[in-house]
């Protein structure tokens, strides 16, 4: 819809309708916006009036008429209808005013038409465009890792298993191990893939299938990794602020808050996090992971995403590099979003010492045989390298100020839902 002046043709769906004795108002919706159309009984022929009288919510229509500015109309314009064609007369639309979140999930295929979800999908597109742009600007190569895998990357407890001919396989939790293989030819690689987690938790932050933006680079040290991730998140926020003013306004996200998301981000270590938490009355035993409640409490002190580094080795994955200055912690970094949106990025420098890798795989109960191919990467021309994974829907939730991560993806998959 590109509102100008004069004659106008438009196709769309009925968002609202109000039928009076002499005027029928139809608010029409298309992918760009909504616009008010008025059918005046005295101005149109009988046939057009009768069709307008029949129109129902979500019917698809073709309309032509004269467009003019109208301050009172939603969207600021009004079309005075001359011709009206009903492409499909919709049956009574099941989503009316009183709906529960569960009902909307059951009718997700229809609820996707809502202005809220339309706005979210547009912002998500900008987030993905901006990410691709940032990788390209910095000379990273896009690659396509597999979804069907033979091993865990993030531990066995959240693996989805599937029948694979006469064998079993798993749905990928992360492309990381495959990206690590690809850095030996392309050096800096990234991918956008679905990742799968059989999360038993029913939280507003967890999906069973989510989109994972991952990067891995040869010769990239820990400090370089932190800089790159700060740059990426900032670039995403600036682009969304530039391109999605209308959507952000609709979603209730203040643009100025996004514009402020620029490097440097605050940085603390896990040890410092424990000290802050203790002052806030939460005592965590050293060696325990930070849970949602701890992350949220920490974030009361910060307006920008927070970089938390050097977690205890026991709570992190086998591939993370031991800190040369303190073998109890690893050179990892979680980035936590402001306002209680939780961890948006998990990252680390990677362990290059093959013996340490083998030891930690064994400790986590893995069969070394399955990881021989990965260990080969340390045997043939190993280099220092680092990488990260960003949960796209977590970032969408934060930027769009959503109550639940389910609204950051068209068809959410959770422990309790795979329909529609
Ligand atoms: O922290 P995670 O588990 O890290 C990895 O998978 C690494 N192998 C990534 C890498 O270094 N290439 O997951 C990365 C991010 C998390 O920070 C979070 O934002 C998101 O993925 N995430 C989820 N998002 C939605 N639903 C879930 N169940 C998620 N689990 C992780
Ligand atoms: Mg993590």
Domain boundaries, the chain: 6-88, 108-408
Ligand showing the shortest atom-to-Cα distance for residue 198: 1
Ligand 1: residue whose CA is nearest its atom 23: 391
Instruction: Give distance in angstroms: CA of 346 to centre of ligand 2.
Output: 4
Measured CA to CA, the distance from residue 250 to residue 244 in angstroms comes to 10
Atom of ligand 1 lying closest to residue 347 CA: 11
Q: How many whole angstroms separate alpha carbon 349 and alpha carbon 364?
A: 19
Question: Which ligand is nearest the CA of 174, by number?
Answer: 1
Single pTM value for the model: 0.97
Distance 248 CA to ligand 2 centre (A): 28
Ligand 1 pocket check for 197: Cβ under 6 Å: yes
Evaluate: CB of 209 within 6 angstroms of ligand 1: no
CATH of the domain spanning 108-408:
3.30.930.10
Model confidence pLDDT, tens digit, residues 55-112: 999 999 999 999 999 998 877 899 999 999 999 999 999 998 778 999 999 999 999 9
- In whole angstroms, give the CA distance from residue 361 to residue 368: 7
- pLDDT band of residue 226 (cuts 50, 70, 90) is very high
Pocket test for ligand 1, best of 154, 177, 389 (most atoms within 8 A of CB): 389
Closest ligand 1 atom, residue 179 Cα = 12
Instruction: Please give the pLDDT value at position 65.
Output: 98
Ligand 1 pocket check for 342: Cβ under 6 Å: no
Which residues fall within 8 angstroms of residue 96, CB to CB, at 6 or more apart?
A: none
Structure tokens of 415? 């422990």
How many Cβ atoms are within 10 Å of 45's Cβ, its own excluded? 9
Residue 347: burial class (beta carbons within 10 Å; 0-12, 13-18, 19+): buried
pLDDT at residue 75 in the model? 78
CA-wise closest residue to 242 among 326, 329, 158, 127: 127
Instruction: Give the tens place of pLDDT for each residue, 177-207.
Output: 999 999 999 999 999 999 999 988 788 999 9
Instruction: Write down the mean pLDDT value for the chain.
Output: 96
Alpha carbon separation from 36 to 7, 14, 67 (Å, rounded)? 15, 10, 10
User: Within 10 A of 190 (CB to CB), how many other CB atoms are there?
Assistant: 27
* Ligand 1 atom nearest to 344, measured from its CA: 19
Structure-token pair, residue 361: 């795989």
Q: For 233-277, write each residue's pLDDT tens digit.
A: 999 999 999 999 999 999 999 999 999 999 999 999 999 999 999
Is the CB of residue 396 below 6 angstroms from any atom belonging to ligand 1? no
Equal fold, 6-88 vs 108-408:
no
Q: Domain 6-88 class?
A: mainly beta
């Amino acid at each position: 819809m590109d509102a100008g002046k004069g004659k106008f043709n438009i196709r769309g769906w009925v968002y609202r309708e109000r039928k009076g004795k002499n005027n029928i108002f139809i608010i029409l919706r298309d992918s760009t916006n909504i616009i008010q159309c008025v059918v005046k009984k005295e101005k149109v022929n009988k046939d057009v009036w009768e069709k307008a009288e029949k129109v129902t919510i979500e019917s698809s229509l073709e309309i032509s008429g004269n467009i003019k500015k109208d301050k009172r109309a939603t969207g600021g314009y009004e079309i005075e209808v001359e011709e009206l064609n009903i492409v499909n007369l919709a049956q009574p639309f099941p989503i009316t005013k009183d709906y529960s979140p569960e009902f909307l999930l059951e009718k997700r295929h229809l609820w996707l038409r809502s202005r809220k979800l339309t706005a979210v999908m547009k912002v998500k597109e900008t987030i993905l465009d901006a990410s691709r742009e940032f990788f390209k600007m910095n000379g990273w190569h896009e690659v396509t890792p597999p979804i069907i895998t033979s091993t865990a990357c993030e531990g066995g407890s959240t693996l989805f298993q599937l029948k694979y001919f006469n064998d079993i396989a798993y749905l990928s939790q992360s492309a990381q191990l495959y990206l690590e293989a690809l850095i030996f030819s392309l050096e800096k690689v990234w991918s956008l893939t679905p990742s799968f987690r059989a999360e038993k938790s029913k939280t507003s932050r967890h999906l069973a299938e989510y989109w994972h933006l991952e990067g891995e680079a040869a010769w990239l040290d820990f400090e370089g990794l932190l800089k790159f991730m700060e740059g990426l998140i900032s670039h995403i926020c600036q682009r969304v602020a530039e391109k999605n003013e209308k959507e952000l306004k609709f979603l209730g996200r203040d643009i100025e808050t996004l514009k402020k998301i620029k490097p440097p981000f605050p940085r603390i270590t896990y040890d410092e996090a424990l000290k802050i938490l203790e002052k806030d009355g939460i005592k965590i035993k050293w060696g325990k992971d930070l849970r949602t409640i701890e992350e949220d409490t920490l974030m009361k002190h910060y307006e920008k995403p927070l970089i938390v580094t050097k977690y205890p080795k026991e709570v992190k994955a086998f591939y993370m590099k031991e800190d040369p200055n303190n073998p109890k912690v690893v050179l990892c970094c979680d980035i936590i979003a402001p306002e209680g949106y939780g961890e948006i990025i998990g990252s680390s420098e990677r362990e290059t010492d093959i013996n340490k890798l083998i030891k930690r795989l064994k400790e986590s109960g893995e069969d070394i045989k399955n990881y021989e191919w990965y260990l080969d990467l340390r045997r043939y021309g190993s280099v220092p390298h680092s990488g990260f994974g960003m949960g796209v829907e977590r970032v969408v939730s934060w930027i769009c100020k959503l109550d639940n991560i389910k609204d950051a993806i068209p068809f959410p998959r959770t422990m309790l839902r795979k329909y529609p």
